Amino acid sequence: MNFFYLLASIFFTIAAYRMAPDLNGILVDMMKLGAIVTIFFVFLTLWFTYKTIKGAHNLFKKWAPKFKILTILLLVIFALTAYVWASSKQNTHIISGILSHIDYNRLYPIPLSTANQTNGSNSSLIGSNLNIKKIVFPNATKVSNVTKTSNFSINNNRNQTSQVNTTKQVTYKELKTQPKTIMLTYTFHGITQKTPFVVYKGVYDYLSEIPRSISYIPGIEPAPTMKDFVMKEINNKVQNEAVYPLVKKIKILGDNPDDQVRIAVSMIQHIPYDCAEAMNKTSQESRYPYQVLYDMKGICGEKSELLAMILRDLGYGVALFYFEDEDHMAVGIKCPKKYSYRKSGFCFIESTNPTIITDANETYNGVGKLSSTPIIIKVCNGTSFNSVYKEYNDAQEWIKLNKESEENGGYLTPGEYYEWLEISKKYDLTDNKKCPTYYPGPT
């Protein structure tokens, strides 16, 4: 009987978690109702789990002495099966993918910010009369690159006037209107290919109408942080459903998870950089990640959020690097520490143009190289990109060859020049650096 109670409590826990965003709009004695209900069912599930295990243990004690050899054999088989299943990389991706999609803010009973409430709608209060303020992301100085190096700008101003009723619930299926097909370019093992992907104007317009501001209660909730704004944008349910078909396409294109990462990174890097937006210092609106796909252009913050979403859905640990002094954002993917950026545990990925993973040595117009210590915005836990040593070795060689070329007036030896061309072709880097030539030799 306890087992059936356990199944029922699991069902109600899942239902309460899904309803939490709506119920969290109601505060009971300054605590979120949705979180309270969900936590109650979580503890109820744990209790019935304990009772079920205890009942199974009592049954096992009665049964085991009569069938000792069979019992030991079954336990060994069960343990080996569990070990093999858990150690499988594919199942590790499944587990990490589930964990990365859990919104733990739904389970926190005390309001931290309304970033995770339905589209920023104001909370209704029971037994309270409080003022709710809104905050928008601060302006960022735009820096654009017009040379053949990495372009960037983050445009952090999220303020936007909107007349839409943002409390209305809509679904991705309802918004799949006015489709158009875009062609996404990617380079893998030196071969550049294109793949089609269908995007929808209905989804684009829905995201355009979402206010970029976040409401909060002064004195009770802290002012929203950069992470609050980032998570608000990449956790939008409709957008997640709209981007996931691209994730599935990438999984088909790559033979293994790490190759899927390489394809995803190259695909987003090949989306053109929006120089016009970067130079427009009065722009009041930034794109949501899906809108980058629809427009087929974006600046560093927008493209980095899109890549972070895709890598998260591929099951990897993901972070964002924000360089405040240089006003630049890049992506970090979980990797072995010795290859990671500043020993952070995340490897550096430039999203604005084709660049080798781990190469943070680009020169940015107006500020030079990235020298400040970035703010690390952790997006999710997940699998480590362990085969990154391949990119790391190529990146180190690429940096060395370009340095030698600069020191020798743009010349390399024939052997070095061939190696430079091979790396350039492998990652489609020809637009990133002025092409060197080999030494002409004696005349």
Condensed to tens digits (0 to 9), the pLDDT of residues 314-335 reads 999 999 999 988 889 999 999 9
pLDDT of residue 200: 95
Confidence check: pLDDT of 207 > 70: yes
Structure token pair of residue 399: 């940096």
Check residue 369 and give its pLDDT. Answer: 86
pTM over 0.95: no
**Which one has a higher pLDDT value, 380 or 104?**
380
**Residue 239 has what pLDDT?**
93
pLDDT band at 190 (very low <50, low <70, confident <90, very high): very high
Q: Half-sphere exposure (CA, 13 Å, Cβ side) for 22?
A: 7
Residue 440 — very low, low, confident or very high, per pLDDT cuts 50/70/90? very low
The average pLDDT across 60-81 equals 68
Q: Buried b vs exposed e over 73-107: b needs ≥16 C-beta within 10 Å?
A: eeeeeeeeeeeeeeeeeeebbeebbeebeeeebbb
User: What number is the average pLDDT over the span 203-226?
Assistant: 86
pLDDT bracket for residue 102 (50, 70, 90): low
Asked if the model's pLDDT at residue 437 lies above 70, the reply is no
| Mean pLDDT value across residues 149-173 | 47
CA distances (Å), 367 to each of 148, 357, 398, in order?
15, 21, 22
User: Token pair of 132, please?
Assistant: 């709710």
Measured between alpha carbons, how far is 429 from 351 in angstroms, rounded to an integer?
13
Sorting pLDDT into bands at 50, 70 and 90, what band is 166? very low
According to the model, what pLDDT value does residue 159 have? 35
Residues 18-39 have pLDDT tens digits of 666 665 555 555 566 666 777 7
The mean pLDDT value of the chain amounts to: 76
Mean pLDDT of 375-404: 94
Of the listed ranges 100-109, 224-233, 337-346, the least confidently predicted one is 100-109
pLDDT surpassing 70 at residue 89: no
Task: Report the pLDDT value the prediction gives residue 388, as an integer from 0 to 100.
Answer: 95
Spatial distance between the Cα atoms of 442 and 337, rounded to a whole number of angstroms: 46
- 346-371 average pLDDT score: 87
The phi, psi pair for 345, rounded to 5°, reads: 90, 0
Amino acid 27: pLDDT: 56
> What confidence score (pLDDT) does residue 139 get?
36
Residue 44 pLDDT greater than 50, yes or no: yes
